[in-house]
Structure 1
Amino acid sequence: MTSKIHTFVICAYKESQYLEECIKSVVAQKEYSEVILATSTPNEYIDNLCDKYNIICYKNQGESGITQDWMFAVSCAKTPLVTIAHQDDVYFENYARTVVEAYSKYRKPLIIFTDYWEIRNGEYVKRNKLLNIKRFMLIPLRGKCFSGSKWVRRRILSLGSAICCPSVAYAVNNLPQPLFLNHFRTNEDWEAWERYSKCDGDFIYCKEPLMAHRIHEESETTATIQETGRSEEDYEMFKKFWPNWIAKILVSKYKESEKSNSLYN
């Protein structure tokens, strides 16, 4: 039995030791959803897991990269609501049911996203400084009152990206195309939210934690910050909302949040 509304597309890369845990979490949902997998690095490890859990594996033969892989993944889904499931993360059993119910309650959903926990060293972290800040920033979107307000969501985004990317379900038919731009290495999601924020429709925030995002040294965000930091990308994003001099101040403050992507903080 599959949902005609929602699809989990697992984005798999190389041979992640956490991939099977992610697969188990999406196939065990209380609300049945289509589950497929997309990869630009096909290998026997991924094929064996797809066979084990009876999941169709779509192999990207075109251009690869973070946004290219995400766009390919979404193109493989046939439902109007799609979650790009990151291979290292875990989705709690009520995630699909919650996003599908939310999708049905709004006239024009754009994205539906949830609160989340972190996984550090195999342990679930329910609260820390960064999580608390993000939850505070998203308070205005907890109800229907401001979900359709472009001004409110742009004010939230003007202070940083509080939306957890792997928690997002995309109402693909209501969003601008392409969904993602091949521009940034770490802020590709923030850039997408900024573009979507200009559209008519709703940003729907489910305040219940419905997934867990894994922080580990092999993640793309952690690796990029360790290599180069991301101040230039942050500065470019802040300039979309603020004059240059304010953007520079915000970058200096925002840089402190990078420490939260270190496994040992």
Structure 2
Amino acid sequence: MRMEVSHTFAICAYKESAYLEECIQSIRKQSLKTNIIMITSTENDFLKGISDKFEIPLYINRGERGITQDWNFAYQKANTDYVTIAHQDDVYFKDYAKYVVKYLEKQGDALIYFTDYAEIRDNKIIRSNKLLRIKRLMLYPLRFSMFWGSRFVRRRILSFGSPICCPSVTLVKKNLPSIIWEKGFRSNEDWEAWEKISKMRGKFIYNREILVGHRIHEGSETSIIIKDGVRTQEDYIMFRKFWPSFIAKILTRLYAKSEESNQI
């Protein structure tokens, strides 16, 4: 019974996403059934209707709004050991939850668990492109379980960018603080969180199976942020956590070129 209640998908929903039902359906079709909740700070009839249709509890964040505030709110509303903050535009392949429990039940000191992912463009699943290959290369050391607990290895990986797919991450609540994401970032809130957690004692568990489909489209927050230049500013802030200024500037320019893959 425990395996059925140890994990929660906490869906962060905003306004009226055309992809929300597809996200929910992918979660409902998991080979291991888990808890599902939905949170929003943009309360509306559309989301209430979705909540009623799929019988998913809907929690309204009536406090401070923002991406990080909503993610923290969702994290705190989940009452299970393992929590995945699901993004409304993305999908989870059927064995995602099964592997979460399979890996984490064996690793009592895990901090986060995450998987490889594919991109969804024009409703087509793209399992390999230049950006995905680069991220897989960056994560190569974590294919080996001997490095899961190495703070040195994961900080070296993060010092060159964030190859960790945010919606693929499951957080282990008992080993983490109550606030995961800090205010102030619009684009690199996930990278900032992994950098902070990377300093802690415990494991970053990487499953190289492709278990998440991350949607790239013009309406996504990532695409909007790249267009208005916020991402580049935040990239520099993050690189400065690892490198002196002149190296951080070089890496920021190189990273900006890779972000072109997120443009439609």
Provide TM-score, normalisation by structure 1: 0.97
Equivalent pairs, count: 263
Distance in 1 (alpha carbons) for counterparts of 2:178 and 2:56: 27
- State the partner residue of 2:107: 106
TM-align CA RMSD: 1.1
Letter in 2 for 1:249: I
- State the partner residue of 1:68: 69
- State the partner residue of 1:115: 116
Distance in 2 (alpha carbons) for counterparts of 1:26 and 1:198: 31
- State the partner residue of 1:247: 248
Distance in 1 (alpha carbons) for counterparts of 2:174 and 2:122: 38
User: 1:5-47 CA distances to partner (integer Å, 9 max, x unpaired)?
Assistant: 1000110000000000000011111111101100111111111
Distance in 2 (alpha carbons) for counterparts of 1:245 and 1:228: 20
Cα distance, 1:54 vs structure 2:
1.1
- State the partner residue of 1:35: 36
Cα distance, 1:143 vs structure 2:
2.3
Cα distance, 1:4 vs structure 2:
2.3
Letter in 1 for 2:196: R
**Any unmatched runs of 5+ in structure 1?**
none
Distance in 1 (alpha carbons) for counterparts of 2:76 and 2:4: 17
Percent identical among aligned pairs is 56
- State the partner residue of 1:207: 208
User: 1:64-108 CA distances to partner (integer Å, 9 max, x unpaired)?
Assistant: 100000011111110010000000000011000001111111131
- State the partner residue of 1:187: 188
Letter in 2 for 1:36: I
- Secondary structure of the 1:79 match is coil
- State the partner residue of 1:220: 221
Structure 1 moving runs of 4+ over 4 Å: none
Letter in 1 for 2:168: S
Letter in 1 for 2:49: N
Cα distance, 1:229 vs structure 2:
4.4
Distance in 2 (alpha carbons) for counterparts of 1:102 and 1:137: 21
Map residues 149-160 of structure 1 onto 2, 5 A cutoff.
Answer: 149-160=150-161
Cα distance, 1:165 vs structure 2:
0.2
Are the aligned partners of 1:176 and 1:196 in contact in 2 as well (CA < 8 Å)? no
Distance in 2 (alpha carbons) for counterparts of 1:154 and 1:199: 11
